[in-house]
């Protein structure tokens, strides 16, 4: 049985806890590895070693740091297929989707190559007689990233790229469900010339998270996961005087106006709702057609397309999407689907009918895999769990609306405010919607509006805690502190002591 260790100081580290957890292949349901779990002592050790390595890295010319990151990008690209295969086999997303996971992370590292420019301060001369003022951006020191299972390459790269480019050391605690790719990314960083200890990877659960939050050395924490944990980390970080950037759950809406191209819109929604088995914070689990005719046509088209989807092994090139990450995830999805039926929603496509008992791939049975077929409900109401709860599975709920104002209010009033999309050919309606809806990221005829790397990613309301978002310029603001210097050089005549605030004149 393969064992996945921590990665500390450029080498494999067993730790001292003696605890391990199974890592499954979701496509077959079989255990494929054991990951070691850290105790507080292991985390403290990784943090202390990172603190030793950070000063030299932080004092390195930013251009030299960027050369290391550029080589890191090259190595990740050269090893793309290996990384994507590992990711697909541990998470369950398809091989092409796994490559996309990695590439979207690389996009942010590429943006971080602009660090020498992004770290520039400001300078004002002669703010007073003989007085100049300037500012400089400096690294925080040692920071931490606590990242989720659903993007085991993208989110670690979103955290590590800007943090390392800014001169920090990072202690990364990825999900223990699919931990191999983050370890491999750290290995490639050292192979690219990164100093040992500057990027540490520690596996673990709540004990490891609490050790990070309790550490006096860690200066900032970036987190992506569920809203309850995001709020917990945000609160604890405030108590221990750390910066926090915490992103939680989502319930993204797709608003469809009567003038939208129904077939094209249905295809976009099916891909966004069921891709990666719905295990995306930017998935579209709620569709809101405006008007009964629009709703009837859209429901028929979505149902037809959903029934035609192929669900299978993550490495099967014919699979539209693969399994959920764990059996617990599958059980939860099936429970919510059953409760939706009991609540009175109209079940148009029942994912529980998909069976895999007689299916194989590459000689392996899929009978024990964690598969959920696409499920589509119509006539969902806002008091149902189908609407209020983040399901994180291939379940799509249709909530009908009579007007654009009513549809906009649904997205605005929901607890979550991560992403929203509108499908229309009416530019004026789309513009007003984008201005008025109270959601952090908006797509206009774009079903998954994840911003490009040089804009920021982040939700509102219960989807995000903290005032700075991921990637883009915000990432460098988050991972640096600003120091402002006011300087005056001694003149021939000493004016003597001053007992009032200095006046710049």
Those residues whose C-beta lies under 8 Å from the C-beta of residue 468, and which sit 6 or more positions away, are 245, 456, 458, 474, 475, 477, 478
- The tokens describing 475, both together, are 């990432």
Name the percent of the chain in helix, strand, coil, to the closest 5.
40, 25, 35
- The tokens describing 283, both together, are 């998935």
Measured between alpha carbons, how far is 299 from 284 in angstroms, rounded to an integer? 15
- A 10 A CB-CB count for 300 gives 14
| Nearest 10 degrees: Cα torsion 447, 452, 458, 463 | 30
* CB 447, CB 254: distance < 8 Å: yes
Measured between alpha carbons, how far is 57 from 163 in angstroms, rounded to an integer? 11
Over the range 401-415, which residues count as b (16 or more CB within 10 Å of their CB) and which as e?
A: beebeebbebbbebe
Measured between alpha carbons, how far is 68 from 186 in angstroms, rounded to an integer? 13
Distances from the Cα of 173 to the Cα of 144, 206, 263, 279, angstroms: 8, 11, 42, 20
Residue numbers annotated as active site = 281
Token match 């944990």: residue?
229
| Nearest 10 degrees: Cα torsion 74, 245, 453, 394 | 90
Measured between alpha carbons, how far is 384 from 347 in angstroms, rounded to an integer? 14
């Amino acid at each position: 049985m393969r064992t996945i260790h921590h990665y500390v100081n450029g080498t494999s580290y067993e730790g001292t806890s003696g605890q391990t957890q199974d890592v499954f292949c979701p496509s077959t349901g079989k255990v494929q590895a054991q990951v070691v779990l850290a105790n507080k002592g292991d985390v403290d050790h990784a943090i202390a070693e990172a603190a030793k390595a950070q000063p030299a890295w932080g004092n390195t010319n930013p251009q030299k740091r960027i050369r290391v990151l550029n080589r890191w990008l090259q190595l990740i690209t050269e090893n793309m297929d290996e990384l994507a295969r590992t990711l697909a086999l541990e998470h369950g997303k398809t091989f092409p989707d796994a490559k996309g996971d990695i590439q979207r992370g690389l996009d942010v590292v590429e943006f971080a190559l602009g660090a020498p420019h992004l770290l520039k301060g400001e300078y004002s001369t002669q703010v007073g007689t003989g007085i100049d003022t300037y500012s400089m951006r400096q690294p925080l020191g040692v920071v931490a990233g606590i990242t989720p299972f659903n993007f085991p390459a993208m989110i670690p790269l979103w955290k590590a790229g800007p943090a390392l480019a800014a001169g920090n050391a990072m202690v990364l605690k990825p999900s223990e469900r699919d931990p191999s790719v983050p370890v491999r990314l750290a290995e490639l960083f050292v192979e690219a010339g990164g100093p040992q200890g500057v990027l540490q990877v520690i596996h673990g659960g709540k004990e490891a998270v609490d050790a990070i939050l309790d550490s006096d050395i860690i200066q900032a924490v970036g987190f992506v996961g569920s809203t309850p944990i995001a709020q917990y980390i945000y609160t604890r970080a405030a108590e221990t005087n750390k910066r926090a950037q915490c992103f939680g759950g989502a319930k993204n809406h797709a608003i469809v106006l009567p003038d939208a191209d129904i077939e094209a819109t249905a295809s976009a929604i099916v891909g966004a709702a069921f891709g990666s088995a719905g295990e995306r914070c930017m998935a579209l689990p709620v569709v809101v057609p405006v008007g009964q005719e629009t709703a009837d046509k859209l429901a028929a088209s979505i149902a037809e397309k959903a029934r035609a989807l192929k669900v299978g092994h993550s490495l099967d090139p014919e699979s539209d999407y693969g399994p959920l990450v764990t059996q617990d995830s599958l059980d939860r999805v099936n429970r919510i689907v059953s409760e939706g039926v009991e609540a009175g929603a109209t079940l148009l496509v029942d994912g529980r009918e998909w069976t895999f008992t007689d299916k194989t791939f590459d000689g392996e049975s899929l009978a024990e895999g964690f598969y959920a077929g696409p499920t589509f409900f119509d006539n969902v109401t806002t008091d149902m769990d189908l609407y209020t709860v983040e399901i994180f599975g291939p379940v799509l709920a249709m909530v009908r609306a009579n007007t654009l104002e009513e549809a906009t209010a649904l997205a605005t009033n929901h607890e979550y405010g991560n992403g929203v999309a509108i499908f229309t050919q009416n530019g004026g309606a789309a513009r007003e919607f984008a201005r008025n809806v109270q959601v952090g990221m908006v797509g206009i005829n774009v079903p998954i509006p994840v911003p490009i790397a040089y804009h920021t990613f982040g939700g509102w309301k219960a989807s995000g805690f903290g005032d700075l978002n991921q990637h883009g310029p915000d990432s460098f603001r988050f991972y640096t502190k600003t120091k402002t210097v006011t300087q005056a050089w001694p003149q021939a005549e000493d004016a003597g002591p001053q007992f009032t605030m200095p006046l710049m004149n």
